[in-house]
Structure 1
């Protein structure tokens, strides 16, 4: 198979957690471009959490919010926000359970309880810091993603009562999870982008490490799980590479003969 595009997750894939983009990974991306290979970023992050990565990589086609927002050559081609009645249900439940929420719009994010320990923990290593959400924030903005800050065992109540949404924990020990539309995931945004590029899914390679990468790796012709990936992801991958800390993206691209 002659692959035409490489799709890269950020955290835990091209970016080791808590670290910066390595020279080896930057070089691998540059070598792909020199070979006229299209490179796409597909992340759970919001656009405003991704600016430095975009600058470092020079990538101009991106999928954000786990598939709810897609850009091609810097121009928006797809977006899917949460309906207000669904947001109302989550907001009410979070009030009942006293769990903080972070609401993520297209240009800004706000949190309902700034000083809650789960919120402090969620943002402790990030350069961006949340601001307090005005009471009407989620009503006045298009919301594409939510962070629910709660313990793992408390998450199921939300999933049962709000089936329109999908709840995925950041990691096994995290006290925060991504909340997205249940009919939206990275594969949805990537499909929109591939259609724009005129590239079939089986002509794509994708690298990922998290549960939010399951649909993406299942969609493409060559799904590559990082060495640090969850076992559930490795089970659906076509190949497992080294960890992000070991420059697994470069190693995987070399194994595939793409660089």
Structure 2
């Protein structure tokens, strides 16, 4: 029996216009009425999740959000922080120093703010900040402090610029951090144990739900760990081939109400 469903946002919950269709919304709300816990589990910061959480009626009862690719678990109705994992000052410096020699820009991500460590806010940076409702400003790298509560660093730019930095990341850095290409224009670097899978496991344990009772839906490489740990890992038909290789089931695409199809087929009938 499915008791909790974790749903990625971009490429999963919403279509390519970043809209949650009426069919998807109504099916999720039906699941909520049946007592199934719905968790939005995404790389977005809380501000970028809030519009969809509000649309679904989060906050009217005990609802949870997994943000920042698993570095942040938040209870929506009380704003209580269940879990937060931030980078140290030394880790930020190491990640920044590596990225300085590349054309892709470097963005620091806090709970409520984006910081550009370049001399300007590039078009790519502003586009991503606008998408997730985050303020953005330029910050001197020497002004970074641990009190800022930075949860991840983004290498951001044109896809070919991110390709270059992706191929250049040394094995040791991949061993020391959780690094994932979540979008073609975006490479995310986080604390080693921060990912959607570890966060989903922590939340399930917090709520007393067994992982066998958890369904996860996603489409991208940053969904890999949560698809892997969930009792039922469902991948969108628009998902990556790598993600599909570990899926328990494949649903329709995000343009075909794939989330609604999956919940109706595997959660309501369980």
TM-score normalised by structure 1 residue count? 0.90
Q: Which residues in structure 2 correspond to 1:108-187 (within 5 Å)?
A: 108-113=113-118, 114-116=120-122, 118-119=124-125, 122=128, 128=134, 130-139=136-145, 140-149=147-156, 150-160=161-171, 162=173, 163-171=175-183, 174-187=184-197
- Counting matched residue pairs gives 256
Instruction: Give structure 1 stretches of 5+ with no counterpart.
Output: none
Asked if residue 62 in structure 1 is aligned to residue 94 in structure 2, the reply is no
Asked if residue 19 in structure 1 is aligned to residue 39 in structure 2, the reply is no
Question: Once the 2 structures are TM-superposed, how far is the Cα of residue 222 of structure 1 from its aligned partner?
Answer: 0.6
Structure 2 residue aligned with 1:84: 89
Task: Give distance in 2, aligned partners of 1:21 and 1:191.
Answer: 26
8 A contact 2:44–2:132 mirrored in 1: no
Question: Once the 2 structures are TM-superposed, how far is the Cα of residue 134 of structure 1 from its aligned partner?
Answer: 4.0
Task: Give distance in 2, aligned partners of 1:124 and 1:141.
Answer: 21
Asked if residue 75 in structure 1 is aligned to residue 80 in structure 2, the reply is yes
Task: Give the root-mean-square deviation of aligned CA atoms.
Answer: 2.1
8 A contact 1:242–1:248 mirrored in 2: yes
Question: Once the 2 structures are TM-superposed, how far is the Cα of residue 129 of structure 1 from its aligned partner?
Answer: 5.7
Secondary structure in 2 aligned to 1:147?
strand
Deviation digits for residues 145-178 of structure 1 (CA, Å, limit 9, x no counterpart) = 111124213223334352322322233xx23212
Task: Give distance in 2, aligned partners of 1:240 and 1:226.
Answer: 6
8 A contact 1:41–1:63 mirrored in 2: yes
TM-score normalised by structure 2 residue count? 0.86
Cα pair distance change 1:3/1:190, threshold 3 Å: same
Cα pair distance change 1:46/1:137, threshold 3 Å: farther
8 A contact 2:113–2:134 mirrored in 1: no
- Greater CA deviation, 153-162 or 218-227? 153-162
